[in-house]
Chain A
Amino acid sequence: MNVIDLSQTTVRELNHALHQLEPTDPGPRWVVREPRGAHAIACGLRVPVTVEIEGHAGYYCAGMNQFATVRVAGNVGVGVAENMMSGFVHVHGNASQSAGATAHGGMLVIDGDASARCGISMKGVDIVVKGSVGHMSGFMAQAGNLVVCGDAGEALGDSIYEARIFVRGKVKDLGADCVEKPMEPEHFSLLKTLLERAGSEAQPEEFRRYGSARRLYRFHIDHASQY
């Protein structure tokens, strides 16, 4: 185990060291102490290493992650796991805005709540939020799955493309072109897998599914008010 104390070491030194790890032999897990809300902790990782952050992290924690497992025993700031390509990011506390923004792959789990725009422009990532999400979550979501075990704020899934959104609690309202869709057997199966991987005890039968009505895919005068 490698222990890094961010009261003694800079984020730049930490990230540089993590970037030097060999993909085929990344070595033992890394523990980051005293993160004190620093930004860009463990971003740009590209090997299957495990990094455990003992405390709160700032913006863009685990940004653009590839292959790594990053666990945060605290809250995270804006853009956790933004543009993640693969790997696993687990936040034990709450997340600020734009969690998992534009992420292409991997899995992001947030044990608490996520603020506004969770999963904005997501491109294939699986996000499981065990609490609630703020307004405009799933905005322009292109692909992947956003699972919300609590409630969702205003304009859920506004201008959504082909991503799937599952919500167990209440939805304040839906955004442009986002509609409720029936839960088919394949969705129960998918949801079961995602919830199990996230360590959630919620049951797929408790969720409703939302997705694109595909009315805004082509410019059309009859939909002008929604553009």
Chain B
Amino acid sequence: MPLQPRPGLRESATFDRHVIHEIQRAAETGIYDIRGWGAKRLLPNFDDLVFLGASMSRYPLEGYRERCATDVTLGTRSAKKPLHLKIPVTIAGMSFGALSAQAKEALGRGATEMGTSTTTGDGGMTPEERHHSQHLVYQYLPSRYGMNPDDLRRADAIEIVLGQGAKPGGGGMLLGQKISDRVAEMRTLPKGIDQRSACRHPDWTGPDDLTIKIEELREITDWEKPIYVKVGASRTYYDVALAVKAGADVIVVDGMQGGTGATQDVFIEHVGIPTLPALRQAVEALNELGMHRKVQLIVSGGIRSGADVAKALAMGADAVSIGTAALIALGCNSPKWQADYEKLGSAAGFYDDYQDGTDPAGIATQDEKLAARLDPVQGGRRLANYLRVLTLEVQTLARACGKSHVLNLEPEDLAALTIEAAAMAKIPLAGTDWIPGIATRGV
């Protein structure tokens, strides 16, 4: 049981229990803390925005009766075969290796049921996820583990990964516990090693080279596939502008709340910027280049609800991507496994040790017995249900703002509740015209 402070005991704000525990852990082990999940610190986020529902000056749509469309087309800039999705919520890249084959299958099943896409990860494409995913985005990562041109052609889109929100500037990790025979074979690595993925691509080094790399990928796939470029949120304005210049069809911006299978805690909590300002910067870059809605924008990192999705769309995203939330929908951190979490020194609702390969829910593991706990059919159904709820929630909010398509939501529909959110999102503070850093209207 955790120690309950008694009256008279005062906890240090500087050296709180978590800090003390981490210093003690570091002193004992001599190695930094590696964990999964995303940033756990409190950050300005979509909860700090609200919608201005219609009343006198705006005309709402009738809930459940008047149509509010949700489809989105990605890759309209150059690809012969753009991706047409029924909902603007996609499944983010997560590797087979980090996740079990059953989890990958469940993600494919759930996404397919709802007409949206799922994404491979470091380590390549498995036949299971290709078979169960109607729309599959193939990640092209620095490690190129499992990368082959046949899978490139089998994919529905290609995502060139420069970074992810949990660790912009860092490469991947997959600790030895999860390097099973199959994972080792797919990645051409010895079984059981602590595997590090490269943080830079091996054959290009900057935006001019990226232009040529995109051209090569288009040539190999005969210009059919939409090409995404994914960046971790840091200098987002410039990164997005350069990715557009390099020829990307779709930009994926992953904020610092974005999840990971295994990363140093110091990286997760201290590198990158939150999703809220990253999204705003990305939209600004697209607008300044005259490419907003021509190059589509997907934003990810801490998306949890239909409200988050709707606010991201209103700020200018074309779609969002979910990772952690999708795993929770499958059964991650379920109270059903509370006893097992306790054995690992954790608890349902707190478990983040995806790197250990001992996930009681059978999702972030390569242990066959644990992986068998997840029924891919049931998991897929749960994910589809969750995506359905997100979609209904977005439609509810869009209708309230008088929009017949969720992509018609706009910044004007939003107000900020905090000065921080107003400044980061460049949305006026509620009840005012004030955006910190921008002159007030009429002044």
Please list the residues of chain A having a beta carbon within 8 angstroms of any beta carbon in chain B.
Answer: 11-12, 15-16, 19, 39-40, 43-44, 46, 58-60, 63-64, 66, 78-79, 82-83, 85, 97-98, 101-102, 104, 117, 120-121, 123-124, 139-140, 142-143, 159, 161-162, 217-219, 221, 224
Contact = CB atoms under 8 A, between A and B. Distances in A.
B194 interface: yes
Given A64-B149, A218-B176, 12 more contacts: A11-B219, A44-B221, A46-B150, A59-B216, A60-B212, A78-B204, A78-B212, A82-B202, A85-B149, A101-B202, A123-B144, A161-B193
Listed residue (B30, B193, B219) with the most chain A CB atoms within 10 angstroms of its CB: B219
B30 A123 contact: no
A124 B176 CA distance: 22
A79 B215 CA distance: 13
Given A44-B221, A63-B220, A83-B144, A140 B203 contact: no
B203 A39 contact: no
Given A83-B149, A124-B188, A162-B190, A224 B202 contact: no
B42 interface: no
Contact of A224 (B31, B188, B223): B31
Contact of A142 (B175, B189, B203, B204): B189
Interface string B9-26: 000000000000000000
A97 B204 CA distance: 9
Contacts of A219: 31, 175, 194
Contact of B220 (A43, A101, A161, A221): A43
B203 to A, nearest CB: 4
B219 A43 contact: yes
A83 B188 contact: no
Contact of A161 (B152, B175, B190, B221): B190
Contacts, number: 104
Interface in B141-198: 143-144, 147-150, 152, 175-176, 187-190, 193-194, 196, 198
A143 B202 CA distance: 16
A58 B208 CA distance: 13
Interface residues of B, number: 33
B247 to A, nearest CB: 13
Main secondary structure of the interface of A (DSSP, over half): loop
B16 to A, nearest CB: 26
A140 B220 CA distance: 25
Interface in B209-258: 209, 212-213, 215-216, 219-223
Contacts of A60: 203, 212-213, 216
B306 to A, nearest CB: 40
A127 B202 CA distance: 16
Contacts of B220: 15, 40, 43-44, 63-64
8 contacts: A64-B152, A85-B149, A123-B188, A142-B189, A161-B190, A218-B194, A224-B30, A224-B31
A9 to B, nearest CB: 14
A64 B209 CA distance: 17
A140 B30 contact: no
